[in-house]
Amino acid sequence: MLRPILLHVMLLLAAITGTSTMTSAGVATPCADSTRDAVLITRFHFKQYYGGVVVVQAQVGDYPDTLQFILDTGSAGISLDTSTCTRLGIKMEPSDRIIKGLGSSKPVSFARNHALRLPGLTVDSLDFHINDYELISQVYGIQVDGIMGFSLLSRFIVTIDYDTEEILIYSKGKFTYPRGGQLLKPSLTQIPLISAPLRTSLRTINNRYYFDTGAGMCLLLSSQFVNDSSVLQGKRRRTKKMIQTEAQGLGGKMSMSLTTLNEFRIGNYSFRNVPTYIFDDQTNVTAYPFLGGMIGNDLLRRFNITLNYSKKEIYMIPNSHFRDMFDYSYTGLIIYLINGRVEVTDIIKGSPAEKAGFRKGDILMAVNNNLGPNLQLFRELLKNIGTKAVCLISRDNDLIIKKLPIKSIL
């Protein structure tokens, strides 16, 4: 199964301002005293989806519905889904501000002066910008109600523990990092940027990248950077194999190429044969040559991460996922959860799925006798290299069984 990816760098091209107070945890200070020790305010569990993307449950204001938010360092604010606002009756105010993401730029509306209620913590006076997350919800197979970014992360010290699948939120102040990791000093306005080298068979190339926990992939490079730096050119001018696929940006689906890089390093930690997506940055999100692209959460999830924005620090310590294999096993199927059914939305040319006779619009009913529209389970079952998955599909009111070999197409 070729993983569809979420690419969600969101730059709000005007400052999102507003004071904040914190309640429900005995803390109430918009400006913390940096001479005091940081204090643990709350800790709570999150759910992890493919690519390591973190989904947190929270409530907005006095609305009783429990909502699902992606925790995203690649978002410059905090946001709500359009349909969620409509369902809850949250007022949406148009504005002249522009939101800029991969594939599109557009005006943004706001839901102003609302509180976010997390387990053990309420953050008041937040202005949520409004965006349409229907496609993202289809990608993950859950209702994505919003995205938590800089507007929340900048007000606390936040640790993401992928071993225990917990978020720990501390007040600002003096903070002692655990031993055994590395401290990064990113450039930070609203989205952290880090410098990192990538190595080809010919040379090492340095550039800057967004640090993006909301992107369900390892590495994304702009085609402008790739072409100018000859990143994919190997010895004897041979170019690495690439396959064509798609991803989801702010403007909807967009075409990309997928390949691997010899080596990429974050701090002192090196990763080899890293799956890498190449995209045409038409909206200039990466402002090349200022940036080369972004580092996504399929790499970042291999560390437990502490975000200390007030000190412009990110601390990373390798966790139990550090040596997990990258997913080189691709059947060529791209599947989403649409209207309660797992649907084949695209098939990679020359892939095992194409050779097995899958078609766009097929409904995947079962994989290896596992029935039901469980998108995440199907994706896990379709990445075991060297096996054959038995798939039950529905096509034109007929039920068809297909055997699908699972192997690398790179």
pLDDT of 101 reads: 62
CATH classification code of 182-318: 2.40.70.10
Q: SS3 string of 294-313?
A: EECHHHHCCEEEEEEHHHCE
Residue 235 has pLDDT above 70, yes or no: no
Per-residue confidence band for 11, with pLDDT thresholds at 50, 70 and 90: low
Q: Which of the 8 DSSP states describes residue 35?
A: T
Q: What is the spatial distance between Cα 249 and Cα 103, in angstroms, rounded to a whole number?
A: 6
- pTM of the full predicted structure? 0.89
Could you tell me the maximum CA-CA distance found in the chain, to the nearest angstrom? 69
Per-residue confidence band for 17, with pLDDT thresholds at 50, 70 and 90: very low
The torsion angles phi and psi of 51, rounded to 5 degrees, stand at: 80, 5
**Strand segments (E) across 61-181:** 67-71, 78-81, 98-101, 104-107, 109-118, 121-131, 146-148, 157-161, 166-170
Q: Give the mean model confidence (pLDDT) for residues 222-244.
A: 77
Strands 182-184 and 104-107, sheet pairing: unpaired
C-beta separation of 317 from 178 below 8 A:
yes
C-beta separation of 175 from 157 below 8 A:
yes
Architecture per CATH, domain 333-405, reads as Roll (2.30)
Residue 195 has pLDDT above 50, yes or no: yes
Q: Which residues pair with 160 in a beta bridge?
A: 167, 305
pLDDT one-digit tens code per residue, 198-222: 988 778 999 999 999 998 889 999 9
The reply to whether 182-318 shares the fold of 11-25+37-170 is yes
pLDDT one-digit tens code per residue, 364-394: 999 999 999 999 999 989 988 889 999 999 9
Q: What is the spatial distance between Cα 249 and Cα 8, in angstroms, rounded to a whole number?
A: 6
Q: What angle do CA 266, 164, 313 make, to 5 degrees?
A: 35
The closest of 173, 207, 162 to 51, measured between CA atoms, is 162
- Which CATH number fits the domain 11-25+37-170, given the four candidates 1.20.120.530, 3.30.1490.100, 2.40.70.10, 3.40.50.720? 2.40.70.10
Ordered by start, the domain boundaries in the chain are 11-25+37-170, 182-318, 333-405
Q: What is the spatial distance between Cα 177 and Cα 183, in angstroms, rounded to a whole number?
A: 9
3-state secondary structure of 282: coil
Strands 67-71 and 146-148, sheet pairing: parallel
Q: Which residues pair with 59 in a beta bridge?
A: 117
